Structure 1
Amino acid sequence: MLSSVIIAKSSPPNSPNGSRPTSPNPMLENRHTAQAKRRKFMRRILMFRQMDFEVAMWQMLYLLVAPQKVYRNFQYSKQTKDQWARDDPAFLVLLSICLGASSVGFAIVLRLGFLQFLKFLLWVVFVDCIGVGLLIATILWFVANRYLRVSVPIRQDVEWGFAFDVHLNAFFPLLIILHVVQLFLYIPLIDGNGFLSTLLGNTLWLIAITYYIYVTFLGYSALPFLKRTVAFLYPPCLIVLCLYVITLIANWNITRNVMFFYEYRVLQY
């Protein structure tokens, strides 16, 4: 009788044989956690009073002068909030404002009407920034998790939200170089058929894309469970440099052709 009572007390609830209940699927738990993070982010995207615009502006400034410091902030976020991705949409809101302001400049240079300006703005935000960003972030997220992750006792994965944040971080300096600096130089210096115009315009593209690659590399190299992250730095930079030399030899002005493409897609679609 005593032994049966001891067995009954030692057996967990809903376990008639005294066996331990099966633990939930860890992949399912991670998926639910990611979904909860996305819902929290989307709920806050219209709550401007809860956004920390001061930190977002600080990040934008340092992305231009010392991007390493920005990713230290991401490491602090991992330690305090247990996630690498941003939980505050303030950076995305400020980036959208910058895209809108720079689009006004393009509308002036290209002499676009109001409806054409709105169409151009939608293209820049939802195609050039978000659409291309979704593609790049997904590819790099897959490559990092599949080929660059270090085998550790506790499995750690690259968060897709962090991969998209890395794209946004890298996109901001590119935006400043190509949509602000280049725009001021376009009419007086770049919009010409000569080699110097091609050299200046293409060099700005080289700087912008190389800086995008560098900030992207810094983002993934900040993750302690990834190895060989230089694969995101040297091969892309080599390809971009080769294309840069080819465009100079062919005297193909990237900026002028991009402007023609912008004007064409706004007027035609």
Structure 2
Amino acid sequence: MSSPRITTPRQYGGGHFGATTDRRRSDMRMPRFFKRLFKFPQMDFEMAVWEMTHLLIAPKKVFKSIYYHKQTRNTWHRPDPSFTYLLSFFLLLTSFAWSLAYTPSFASVVKLALMFVIVHFLLGSLVVSTVVYYIVGRLLGPGIAGLPGRRRQQGLFGPPGGPRGADALEFGYCFDVSIRAFFPPYVLLYIIQYILMPVINHQNRASTFFANLLYLAAGLYWSMITFLGYNALHFLSHTQLLLSPMVAWVVIWLVCTILGINLSTWGTRWMFLGVKG
């Protein structure tokens, strides 16, 4: 009689217990975005440059590839901080140009660099993405009175414990949309406005018109890219409501232009808030 054969349990078995354990371990892991913060060789900077270019000329193309990303990574959020790093670097260079032109002191250079990168870009995008995460999640996901919608879960950087492919609005994706919506206003207000300052920084009708037109374009671009980002998620309803701020931008532009209020004057004061003086 042959002796019974005793085998050790399989470490990576496909049973229910093993799958549950692996899922719990994966839930306790740090989101991939944070794990890749300093893995520069793995970052796709070429893709980030492509996105920046198309955000200006064809923004709809930027969000067309998210379905492929969802199928391969099981998350709408792209855990690649290359876009954030690249735009932060551009803001740093831009802050140097503004500082050297208007506040040529070492303390002002440092303050403005921190203001542009930390406050305007990172903190501003974080606040916007947090607000939109809850507004879009509650109004455009489950639906509101008179407007049908779909009920779904919300997660931070991925579907929270749901089945693979579950529809979930992720905070990471909201942040992705916010930092991409920031790029066209950055080009218009931090670069083009800087170049045109000798022309538009005057209290006359022509300067006021073109300066205000620059701010109108920035607001419209921001609203359009925000709309396109959430409109790409098929489980959200009535995303066209996100275009409503465009009406406010047009009204503000029209009122300020008629009254002769140069938005460039107020905009640059806000840029240098806490830097001068």
TM > 0.5: yes
Partners of 1:37 and 1:209 lie apart in 2 by: 35
Partner residue in 2 for 1:79 = 71
Q: Is the 8 A contact 1:190 1:256 kept in 2?
A: no
- The DSSP-based 3-state class of the residue aligned with 2:202 is coil
Question: Could you tell me whether the CA contact under 8 Å between 2:56 and 2:184 is conserved in 1?
Answer: yes
Q: TM-score, normalised by structure 1?
A: 0.82
Which residue of 1 is the match for residue 212 of structure 2? 202
Distance, in Å, in 2 between the alignment partners of 1:171 and 1:190 is 22
Q: Distance in 1 between matches of 2:222 and 2:172?
A: 18
1:158 aligns to what SS in structure 2? Answer: strand
Query: 1:47 is matched with which residue?
Result: 39
| 1:165 matches 2:157 | no
Q: Which amino acid aligns with 2:231?
A: S
Identify the match of residue 274 of structure 2 among 256, 265, 269: 265
Superposed CA RMSD in Å reads 2.4
Residue from 54, 59, 68 that aligns with 1:67 = 59
Greater C-alpha Rg: 1
Q: Can you give the 5+ residue segments of structure 2 that lack an aligned partner in the other structure?
A: 1-16, 142-149, 153-161
Aligned length: 240
Cα contact 1:85–1:161 (8 A) shared by 2: yes
Q: Which of 91, 100, 106 in structure 2 is aligned with 1:114?
A: 106
Letter in structure 1 aligned against 2:205: F
Question: For 1:64 and 1:198, how far apart are their aligned partners in 2?
Answer: 24
Q: For the residues of structure 2 that align with 1:263 and 1:74, how far apart are their CA atoms?
A: 37
The equivalent of 1:247 in structure 2 is: 256
Contact 1:56 1:90 in 2 (8 A): yes
Quick check: 2:76–2:173 contact (8 Å CA) kept in 1? yes
TM-score scaled by length of structure 2: 0.80
Give the equivalent residue in structure 2 for 1:97: 89
Paired letter, 1:215: I
In 1, Cα distance between equivalents of 2:137 and 2:168: 6
Instruction: Tell whether 2:187 aligns with 1:176.
Output: yes
2:177–2:229 Cα contact (<8 Å) kept: yes
Deviation string, structure 1 residues 99-139 (Cα, Å, up to 9, x no partner):
11111221133133122111011111111112221121111
2:227 match: 217
Using the TM superposition, give the Cα deviation of residue 264 of structure 1 relative to its aligned residue in structure 2, in angstroms: 4.8
| Whole-angstrom distance in 2 between the partners of 1:232 and 1:262 | 26
CA distance in 2, matches of 1:210, 1:170: 10
- Matched residues in 2 for 1:177 and 1:132: separation? 17
Give 1:9's aligned residue: none
Contact conserved, 2:95 with 2:112, CA < 8 A, in 1?
Answer: yes
Q: Is the 8 A contact 1:63 1:173 kept in 2?
A: yes
Aligned residues of 2:188 and 2:218 also touching (Cα < 8 A):
yes
Q: CA deviation at 1:92?
A: 0.8
- Render the CA deviation track for 1:239-262: whole Å, top value 9, x for unaligned: 111111111122111112222343
Which of 221, 226, 250 is the aligned partner of 2:236?
Answer: 226
